[in-house]
Each structure stands twice: as structure tokens, then as C-alpha cells.
Amino acid sequence: MKGKMRLITTMLIFGSIGIFVKKIDLTSSEIAFLRGVIGSLFLLLVSLLVKHKPSFKALKKNAVLLLLSGAAIGFNWIFLFESYRYTTISNATISYYFAPIFVMLLSPWVLKEKLTSMKVACIITAMVGLFLIVNPGGGGTSSSGHHALGIFYGLLAAAFYASIVLMNKFIKDLSGFETTLVQLMAGALVLLPYILWQGHLHLAGLNSTSIMFILILGVVHTGAAYFLYFTSIQKLKGQTIAVLSYIDPISAVLMASIFLSENMTVIQLVGGVLVLGATFLSELTIVKKEQAPTTF
């Protein structure tokens, strides 16, 4: 399978995550924990099969950042899955794609990067789009309140994702594959005491559908998808990766419409185009040929 086809397949897999999460009868923290455990075990098995040996010296040097970013991945997933529960997959996905905007807002302080007029324009455009999604008709119904809460959770997930992107820029001497494997393991490790404290992780009463979907989420949407992602970007240009990565949100909206009968109003569609368009332009201005951002 060629690089572009692998990346397209990966983005389609990521785009279907919400449909599977909605069918799993577990809390968001339980789903995030099990996704991390199953996904990291899959990647660890792949690493052993290809006889890949990470540098333990590099792992030790980056230990604090790996632990913090791993924890961020865990909570990133929790808030994203909560977003799926309270609003449509379309709203959750588009609000989640606000992450590049957060990265741009924080870059002047964290990375000492200049906030250009183009970036400011992208930020303003994305905020206008988000307003149209949250308040498409100005109504104050209970349903709109649930959607607003779901979008808020999506933005929290985006904020955690942005923190992961920024922390990854300071991780040295580790490949993207190695970094992700350790982060998944760290995320599961950090979430375990939180889940036990909450008194969750009751797997005995799970129905067969939930078991099947959590296995698919861990193996296909996490382990296999990340493996395809990292093996695809090695031979692709940064701009190609940036463009193809937007198959993820577009396919998520389409699949939610086809399989869950979720629809967006015209105003929300305009808002979605503004958000995704702004983040797309922002990524094209900063993307580097030698490195692409990881999708979580």
C-alpha cells in the first residue's frame, strides 16, 4: 500500500471513531483507559515483531515530558468521548479541530514564534465559525444546552491535544512511533488510579457489542491506525500530509450523517467550513516537510 493510500485509510479510520464510541456502554474514562491499554499492547507487539529497539537513554531523558504528554492524551480522549455523548459527532469533531488555533495562540509564549497577521486572521475566522456552530439560531432549549456542553468538552479535548503537540516539540531523539507508544502506555498508567478512585471499570456486565467495539477501537482505531500513520508519513511531504489529514473531519461528518442520521443546519455547516478552513490555512503556513503532527 502506497504512502498516500495508507494515510487516506488512516484518516478514514480516525473519522469513524465517534460512531464506535457511541456504541460502547462504558464511561468515557473507561473507554480511554482500555483504548490506551489495547493500543499500546498492539504497538508493543508490532515493535517486537519488527525487532525495533528504542533508546533507553532517550526514554530516560524525555521521561517527564512523556509522562505528562501521556496523561494529556488520556484526558484528551476522555473529553473527546464526553463530547460525543453530549452533542453530534459533527459538532464534536469540528470543535476538536480547534486544536491548531490553541497551538497558534500559545506558540508566542511556549515556542517564541511570532503571531503573524495571517495567524490572527485564522484565529478570528475560527472563532466566528465556532460561534455559528454553538449558537446557530440563538435558541435556548435544553437540547441546545446539551450541544453547547458537548462542544465545550470538544474544546477541552482540543486544548489537551494542543498541549501534546507543544510538548512533543521538546521531545528529542525519539521517533514518532516510539513517542506515541510510550505516551499510550503512560496515558493508561495515569488513568488507572483515576478510574479506580471513581469506582469504574466494571467489565463483567459488558454486552458483546461493547466488547467487540472496544476491541476494534483499541486494535484498529489506535494500534493499527497509528502504525499506518507513521509508516505513511515517512515518504510524504508535509503539505500533502496536512491536506490529507482533513479527510478525518470531513469523513466523520459524512459517516455520522449516513450511519447515525446526524445533520447540521446550514449555519452550522458555514461555521464548520470556517473552522476547518482556518485551521487548514494555519497548518499550511507552519507545516514542515520533515515532520508532521500526530493525530490522536
Q: Among 36-50, 66-80, 101-115, 247-261, which is the least confidently predicted range?
A: 101-115
CB 208 within 8 A of CB 23: no
pLDDT on residue 143: 57
Average pLDDT, stretch 62-70?
A: 94
Please write the tens of the pLDDT for every residue from 96-140: 999 989 988 888 888 888 888 888 899 999 999 998 888 765 544
pLDDT on residue 296: 55
Categorize the per-residue pLDDT at 1 as very low, low, confident or very high, splitting at 50, 70 and 90: low
Average pLDDT, stretch 236-262?
A: 88
List the grid coordinates of 238: 508535509
Please write the tens of the pLDDT for every residue from 74-94: 999 999 999 999 999 999 999
pLDDT on residue 212: 94
The Cα 94–Cα 12 span in angstroms is: 15
Mean pLDDT, rounded, of the chain: 87
Average pLDDT, stretch 35-59?
A: 88
* Better-scored residue on pLDDT, 237 or 24: 24
CA distances from 91 to 140, 158, 199 (A): 17, 13, 30
pLDDT at 288 over 60: no
CB 19 within 8 A of CB 254: no
Categorize the per-residue pLDDT at 40 as very low, low, confident or very high, splitting at 50, 70 and 90: very high
DSSP percent split of the chain into helix, strand, coil, nearest 5: 75, 0, 20
Domain layout of the chain by residue ranges: 3-286
